[in-house]
Amino acid sequence: MSSLDLSSFGIETPKIIRNAPVSRLYMEAIRHEPSTSLSAQGALIAYSGEKTGRSPQDKRITIESSSKDQIWWGEINIPIDEHTFEINRERAKDYLNTRDKLYVVDAFAGWDPSERIKVRVICTRPYHALFMRIMLIIPTAQELAEFGDPDFTIFNAGQFPANRLTEGMTSKTSIDVCFEKKEMVILGTEYAGEMKKGVFTLMHYLMPLKGHLSMHCSATADPKTNSSVILFGLSGTGKTTLSADPNRQLIGDDEHVWTDTGVFNIEGGCYAKAIDLTEENEPDIYRALHYGAVLENVIHDEEYIVDFHDTSLTQNTRGAYPIEFIKNAQLPCLADHPTDIIFLTCDAFGILPPVSKLNEAQAMYHFVSGYTAKVAGTEMGVSEPQATFSACFGAPFLVMHPLRYAELLAQKMQQHKVNVWLVNTGWSGGGHGVGSRIKLAYSRAIIDAIYCGKLVKSKTQTDHLFGFEIVTECPGVPSDVMVPRQTWSDQNDYDREARRLAELFAENFKKYDQQDSDSLAKGGPVIA
């Protein structure tokens, strides 16, 4: 720890605890927050209050001259004016100044020294400080002494509500970002993930301006060649599970940047979903949740043994842990250019093949589409499979138009001759309720074959509706499951459902009928 004067930030609180060690933050959390405790494995158990997830409808981007023409304004990036940002910023500072002490974390976002940014987090809860100590990259003593002014500052006054009467506010929660000031203000929510995604939002803005592709994905590296593979995928597609491979080095599980020199992780830690977590199915994550980690919004018994199946508080239970808690993590978390890109989807309709190869246009189309399907019974009101599309496999965090990121992807694919694969971890032989889910062992075999380059030489056949090349043989996967139409008992039913899915893709893509997206649409299904 070191002393810090925040008066230039308008913070006059007498006591500032800067970059406290884990032991101090544990002690402070347990001493001052009665609900906070230690799990049987030694992780800090903390609760985020009323908000147990992100509040995307309450996130605002400030309209200002330096960035307004770069932003994809709409439902994701909702604007507020500079005056409103200043009001919320002042409200946050007023609250912070009422506290006896504040916790400050000064750390880096980005493992590439030439691209990293200096982040300062000012918060009132030790659990929040520990969380960001995990999720950012902690500087050495010398780096901290030379830290200087931050590039991005988060004012976390989440225990204090926004004023509903302030122009542009729709609730007592407000998460505001100003790119010109490089600041973020949090009011009315104590969910720690808002800070993590605030940093990602900034990187999603800054990196494309430099010609770098910021990505919501996991990444692994070959321990011999240091070449990387990128895995995109929405929740439930198996991204975390399939990127945990004992034969690969883990670069990171969630946020990365692809630059002119390779791929680097933005974060210093992982923030994994803990629902139904078991040591058998996710041994690396389960074993990482020990002393130094944070368990968020989980339920435990009198012996402080966590019940990961208990969702009475929320289904969004989480565990945050430093990436070095994973035994095969690659430190520092960067690697050479990728040889392959994998788009993971859980197709609950049973239409997409276990693996197919995409050309450049198809890769851009599926990247912008970001398809998966919600399965019946997993969410309230979902009685049958529902198609879900999330641009660039991370729409809530995009700052610029999706086509901007797709163009960067295409440029880098061309430059580095990258193979792109669409891998379905969903259903085969029919949709959910009729067919069966593709075995995890088969999905792992497919990913392994991609890693070692075997699929490039495999036989394929063209899907005449979607246009991609269906891989028809893969070591470790029975050939009779590789072509989905052949797995259905009634192939006419398959044709009808395939057309319906293709129409859902086409309907979703209509929102991108702008900015020269016609050429991109050529990568989509051809509906006669």
Task: For 196-247, write each residue's pLDDT tens digit.
Answer: 999 999 999 999 999 999 999 999 999 999 999 999 999 889 888 888 888 9
* pLDDT (average), residues 258-273: 96
Q: Is 54 a catalytic residue?
A: yes
pLDDT for position 9? 82
Q: How far apart are CA 394 and CA 322, in angstroms?
A: 23
Two tokens, residue 188: 């009315």
Indicate the residue among 211, 230, 247 that finishes a domain.
211
Instruction: In whole angstroms, give the CA distance from residue 506 to residue 380.
Output: 27
Distance CA 94, CA 87 (A): 11
User: Residue 140 falls within a domain, yes or no?
Assistant: yes
Which of 168, 188, 211 is the endpoint of a domain?
A: 211
Neighbours of 91 (CB within 10 A): 20
pLDDT of residue 516: 53
Is a pLDDT exceeding 50 seen at residue 381? no
Classified as helix, coil or strand, 138 is coil
Q: For residue 518, name the pLDDT band (cuts at 50, 70, 90).
A: low
279 alpha carbon, distance to own chain's centre: 23
Question: Strand, helix or coil at 148?
Answer: coil
The 10 Å Cβ neighbour count of residue 481 is 18
Q: Is the pLDDT of residue 346 over 90?
A: yes
Q: Contact 202/152 with Cβ under 8 angstroms? A: yes
Categorize the per-residue pLDDT at 129 as very low, low, confident or very high, splitting at 50, 70 and 90: very high
341 and 192, same domain (yes or no): no
Q: Would you place residue 51 in the very low, low, confident or very high pLDDT band (cuts 50, 70, 90)?
A: very high
What pTM did the predictor assign?
0.94
Beta-carbon count within 10 A of 29 CB: 24
Residue 197 appears among annotated catalytic residues: yes
Catalytic residue from among 18, 51, 54, 133 = 54
Q: What is the dihedral of CA 387, 390, 391, 395, to 10 degrees?
A: 160
What separation in angstroms does the CA of 442 have from each of 435, 462, 489?
Answer: 16, 21, 21
Question: Is it the case that residue 249 has pLDDT exceeding 70?
Answer: yes
Active site includes 216?
Answer: yes
Reported as a pLDDT band with limits 50, 70 and 90, residue 13 is confident
* Three-class secondary structure assignment of 387-400: EEECHHHCHHHCCC
Among the options 254, 284, 340, 347, which is catalytic? 254
Q: Does 394 reside within a domain?
A: yes
CA distances from 151 to 180, 183, 203 (A): 11, 9, 11
The pLDDT assigned to 238 comes to 87
CATH code: domain of residue 77 = 3.40.449.10
Residues 71 and 207 in one domain: yes
For residue 43, give every residue at least 6 positions away whose Cβ sits within 8 Å of its Cβ, in sequence order, or none.
289, 290, 291, 292, 293, 294, 295, 319, 321
pLDDT tens digits for 442-463? 999 999 999 999 999 899 999 9
Q: Are residues 205 and 341 in the same domain?
A: no
The last residue of a domain, from among 211, 236, 264: 211
Burial 337-347 (b: 16+ CB within 10 A, else e): bbbbbbbbbbb
Domain count, the chain: 2
- The whole-number pLDDT of residue 445 equals 96
**For residue 383, what pLDDT is reported?**
52
pLDDT in tens, 497-517: 999 999 999 999 988 865 555
Q: Is 235 a catalytic residue?
A: yes
Across all residues in the chain, what is the average pLDDT? 93
Sort 507 into a burial class: Cβ within 10 Å, 0-12 / 13-18 / 19+.
exposed
Kindly state whether residue 516 falls inside one of the protein's structural domains.
yes
Distance CA 186, CA 195 (A): 8
Q: Does 502 reside within a domain?
A: yes
Residue among 23, 66, 235, 479 flagged as catalytic:
235
Across the range 116-133, mean pLDDT stands at 98
Residue 242 in domain: no
Instruction: Using a pLDDT cut of 90, give the percent of the chain over it.
Output: 85
100 is catalytic: no
User: Above 90 in pLDDT, residue 344?
Assistant: yes
Please give the residue range of the domain that contains residue 369: 337-521
> Residue 86: which residues within 8 A CB-CB, separation 6 or more?
none
Quick one: which H or E segment has residue 408? helix 402-416
- The reply to whether 336 belongs to the active site is no
| 39, 189, 240, 317: the active-site residue | 240
CATH, residue 356: 3.90.228.20
Cβ neighbour number for residue 480 with a 10 Å cutoff:
10
One DSSP character per residue, 284-324 reads HHHHH-STT-EEES-EE-TT--EETT--SS-S--EEEEEGG
Query: 378 lies in a domain?
Result: yes
Asked if pLDDT for residue 379 goes beyond 90, the answer is no
Residue 377 has pLDDT above 60, yes or no: no
Q: What is the pLDDT confidence band of residue 2, given thresholds at 50, 70 and 90? A: low
Please indicate whether residue 254 is annotated as part of the active site.
Answer: yes
Please give the Cα distance from 138 to 105 (Å, whole number).
9
* Span of 79-93, 457-471, 488-502, 514-528 with lowest mean pLDDT: 514-528
Residue 330: inside a domain? no
Question: What pLDDT score was predicted for residue 521?
Answer: 75
Residue 250, pLDDT score: 96
Q: How confident is the model at residue 380 (pLDDT cuts 50, 70, 90)?
A: very low
Of the residues 128, 133, 196, 197, only one is catalytic, namely 197
Same domain, 201 and 346: no
- CB-based burial label for 252 (10 Å; 0-12, 13-18, 19+): buried
The active-site residue, picked from 204, 212, 256, 318, is 318
Cα distance between residue 420 and residue 405, in whole Å = 16
Report pLDDT digits (tens) over 53-66: 999 999 999 999 99
Q: List CB contacts of 253: < 8 A, sequence separation 6 or more.
A: 218, 239, 240, 243, 270, 271, 272
Instruction: Please tell me which residue in 18, 51, 212, 239 is annotated as part of the active site.
Output: 239
- DSSP code for 202: H
Residue 382: the pLDDT is 45
Question: What's the pLDDT tens digit per position in 170-204?
Answer: 899 999 999 999 999 999 999 999 999 999 999 99
Residue 327 within a domain: no
